[in-house]
Structure 1
Amino acid sequence: MTTQNFSIRAVTVLIASLLLLVSVAVEAGSRVEGARVWPAPDHTRLVLDVANRVDHNIFSLSGPARLVIDLKNTDLKTDFGNLDLSGSPIRRIRSAPRNGTDLRVVLDLKTDIKPRSFQLDPNGQYGHRLVVDLVDESGRRVDKPAKPTVTQEAAGKRDIVVVVDAGHGGEDPGATGPRGTREKDVVLKMAKNLASLINKQPGYTAKLTRTGDYYIGLRNRTLLARKHNADLFVSVHADAFRTPQPKGASVFALSQRGATSETARWLAQSENRSDLTGGVSLDGRDDTLAGVLLDLSMTASINASLGVGSSVLGNLGKVAKLHKSGVEQAAFVVLKSPDIPSILVEAGFISNPQEEKNLSTQWYRNKLSKAIFSGIEEYFQKTPPPGTLLAWKKQQRRGSSSVSQYRIQHGDTLSAVARENETTVSELMRFNGLRDDRVMVGQTIRIPAS
């Protein structure tokens, strides 16, 4: 046998072996090993745990409404009958082998839905997953904007609207503590507690982005804040680190880098043109003017976020250890509303054993929630949005006296004090005998009634 013939035979054997391996892999196929259902207000998510990535196809049928999921070369190794389908549009789930090696899963539905599917790679908690979303085509049910607070004296004065966002949810558990405490559970309880405190205070209304254990996309969270006409967006999280030592609460606002990238995104997307940013529509504006308007809106939003963030952080420092002494800034997606002041509160490090234990208790979560609300209230008492009950009450207090006094605090400027009190810097300088607009912390200045 020649060397050439031997080489050809070796290659042939190698190719045959590879084909056999591929054939075995294909024959081995995949398996559906588990399933979970996550109902949400605007969609229901069905998650199938699969042994590896699976070739699949989905399509809808009507009369009656059904969704068919075909999985190629797949076996069923779980029982769909154990799933809790309450709160979802699914009546029941059926399955049967198809074409000898395939699996067909049929969802009998209560109503028509719009399906979408995608696959997720393994993470720390789950393996391969096939995700099927059943989208309610009527859209998310959003409560009407806060009704005006109506009293005999303050008819038509609206509430301040605070949208409270519990991070993560559903298939996304967030961070997990040493004892197995999940971030998504802790922050939902905190968010509900904070919303309850806000709703009990006259002049305030709270809205939650999620009320149960389901996931909402990051962009959709800020979209919900816009639909609620929010004056403030507060996202609640629990931090984590690879070692157990770090601890303490933190407050974040949007960074300038994040603002710059978001401005570019808004300018690039035509659907944003007709949206309101800082009360100004971008529709019909050229890019230069639209960019200027967005920059102004972003700058004002970040400044307000830093202001309320500083107030919240100061109050958190009275009841818990702080991780950093000042408000930090980062490019978190949930903070990127151009016209809504937004902060992200890290309630503590769930990776720290002691803080995990604290965050697992209601008394500690209550303490943090009260501190967060105290910071929010402290900020809005100083700078209530126009047209709100708090703004009206502040005007009434000022009108009852020809002169009021204000003690300069850290971060105050004379221009900010003038703006908050609806007067001018020159008027404050004249009224207080100031030669310039410089003020010092602890200095008391007189403010004339408007």
Structure 2
Amino acid sequence: MASAPRPRDGATLLTIDLARTDRDGFRRAAVAPEPPPTPAALAPTPGDTRPLVIVDAGHGGTDPGAIAANGAFEKDIVFGVARELARRLEDGRRVRVRLTRDGDVFVPLADRVRIAREAKADLFVSIHADSISAAPQVRGATIYTGSEKATDAESARLADRENKADQAAGADSAEGPGDVTDILQELTLRETRGFSARFAQGLLGQLGRVMELSTKPHREAGFRVLRSPDVPSVLVELGYLSSKRDLDLLLSEEWRARVTEQMAGAIETFFAGRTPPGPNPTLARRAASTAPVSP
């Protein structure tokens, strides 16, 4: 596609190149995601030992996520929250922070996990907003941590729906980290989930000051974006687009400012007791345990 002024009257001519294709080819091209940031772009500055936090805005591009009655898209709401949270963390200068997407683009679930793992992130926070059209009275925030067994049927259904995001967007669904294959990996995963649960509890304590929490605010489920064995990870459902009260808050800049301030505080508190500063403690322990022993 190209544009150029027409000499005789200055009008702009837009030229679009067309090529023959079949239905499947067009569908694949229409939903092709922009490439995620490369590991080099996420590499720490030499000597910068601050923890690295990956903030993941759910959905994006051809995947709108939940859609409110007024037409608001989940992907836009959570991107605004993610961007504001990243700004606050950057201003605080206590951690490094990166976004998995920097605009309205589709990033496959496995790539979101890969970005965090290849960057050797210390924490992964995925931001979403739920919707239950059959129960508009349900509202409040919920924080999920990863588990093979869901806390309840509702959590299992939500994880299943979110895990089909790639399929809904028409993209090939690539698998994330494989199954645990040895004792070391199992211990690493168990320790990582312990860190995830600890952060989730701290985050709930902060968020409970400024927003409504669901009846069961900390739950577990098998979300694909929470499957990293060596990066503590949580998924935050900020509220329900199907609840008018929650939706009004989700669209409020004042509410978003209060919530992101508390989220940033919880993240900084999570890392405050770590001495000395350095890379992901789980990764460090795993590297130490696999290093050759001197004779």
In the superposition, the TM-score normalised over structure 1's length comes to 0.49
Task: Report how far residue 299 of structure 1 moved.
Answer: 0.2
Query: Is residue 145 of structure 1 aligned with residue 43 of structure 2?
Result: yes
- The equivalent residue for 2:289 is none
Query: Is residue 94 of structure 1 aligned with residue 17 of structure 2?
Result: yes
Query: Is residue 307 of structure 1 aligned with residue 198 of structure 2?
Result: yes
Task: Report how far residue 228 of structure 1 moved.
Answer: 2.0
Task: Report how far residue 95 of structure 1 moved.
Answer: 3.6
Equivalent residue in structure 1 for 2:213, among 315, 322, 336 = 322
Distance in 1, Cα, partners of 2:32 & 2:178: 31
- The equivalent residue for 1:249 is 141
2:250–2:256 Cα contact (<8 Å) kept: yes
2:131–2:241 Cα contact (<8 Å) kept: yes
Distance in 1, Cα, partners of 2:45 & 2:270: 22
**Superposed CA offset, 1:297-322 (max 9, x none):** 11011000000011011111000010
Task: Report how far residue 201 of structure 1 moved.
Answer: 1.6
User: In 2 relative to 1, CA 267–251 (structure 1 residues): closer, same or farther, beyond 3 Å?
Assistant: closer
Q: Return 5+ residue gaps in structure 1 as ranges.
A: 1-65, 67-80, 82-90, 97-103, 107-116, 120-128, 149-155, 259-263, 269-286, 392-450
1:239–1:347 Cα contact (<8 Å) kept: yes
Task: Report how far residue 386 of structure 1 moved.
Answer: 4.2
Q: Secondary structure at the match of 1:304?
A: helix
**Superposed CA offset, 1:379-405 (max 9, x none):** 2113457427xx9xxxxxxxxxxxxxx
Equivalent residue in structure 2 for 1:337, among 228, 236, 253 = 228
Q: Secondary structure at the match of 2:254?
A: helix
Amino acid paired to 2:141: A
Equivalent residue in structure 2 for 1:131, among 1, 5, 28 = 28
**Superposed CA offset, 1:144-169 (max 9, x none):** 42225xxxxxxx45111000000000
Q: Secondary structure at the match of 1:158?
A: coil
User: In 2 relative to 1, CA 229–160 (structure 1 residues): closer, same or farther, beyond 3 Å?
Assistant: same
Query: Is residue 211 of structure 1 aligned with residue 109 of structure 2?
Result: no
User: In 2 relative to 1, CA 166–118 (structure 1 residues): closer, same or farther, beyond 3 Å?
Assistant: farther
**Superposed CA offset, 1:108-149 (max 9, x none):** xxxxxxxxx948xxxxxxxxx823156789x8444142225x
- The equivalent residue for 2:258 is 367
Distance in 2, Cα, partners of 1:385 & 1:245: 47
Distance in 2, Cα, partners of 1:188 & 1:265: 23
Higher helix share: 2
Q: Secondary structure at the match of 1:369?
A: helix
- The equivalent residue for 1:356 is 247
- The equivalent residue for 2:293 is none
Equivalent residue in structure 2 for 1:188, among 55, 74, 79 = 79
- The equivalent residue for 1:387 is 278
Distance in 1, Cα, partners of 2:78 & 2:91: 20
Higher strand share: 1
Distance in 1, Cα, partners of 2:189 & 2:38: 28
Task: Report how far residue 351 of structure 1 moved.
Answer: 1.1
Amino acid paired to 2:57: A
In the superposition, the TM-score normalised over structure 2's length comes to 0.73
- In the alignment of these two chains, the number of paired residues is 242
Distance in 2, Cα, partners of 1:339 & 1:370: 27
1:160–1:385 Cα contact (<8 Å) kept: no
Distance in 2, Cα, partners of 1:118 & 1:387: 47
1:198–1:204 Cα contact (<8 Å) kept: yes
Greater RCO structure (CA 8 Å; 6+ sep): 2
Distance in 2, Cα, partners of 1:297 & 1:217: 25
1:249–1:323 Cα contact (<8 Å) kept: yes
Q: Percent identity?
A: 33
User: In 2 relative to 1, CA 182–292 (structure 1 residues): closer, same or farther, beyond 3 Å?
Assistant: same
Task: Report how far residue 368 of structure 1 moved.
Answer: 1.2
**Superposed CA offset, 1:11-66 (max 9, x none):** xxxxxxxxxxxxxxxxxxxxxxxxxxxxxxxxxxxxxxxxxxxxxxxxxxxxxxx9
Q: Return 5+ residue gaps in structure 2 as ranges.
A: 4-13, 151-174, 282-295
Distance in 1, Cα, partners of 2:214 & 2:278: 37
Q: Secondary structure at the match of 2:185?
A: helix
**Superposed CA offset, 1:271-296 (max 9, x none):** xxxxxxxxxxxxxxxx9xx4211110
Q: Secondary structure at the match of 1:334?
A: helix
Task: Report how far residue 324 of structure 1 moved.
Answer: 3.5
Task: Report how far residue 325 of structure 1 moved.
Answer: 4.8
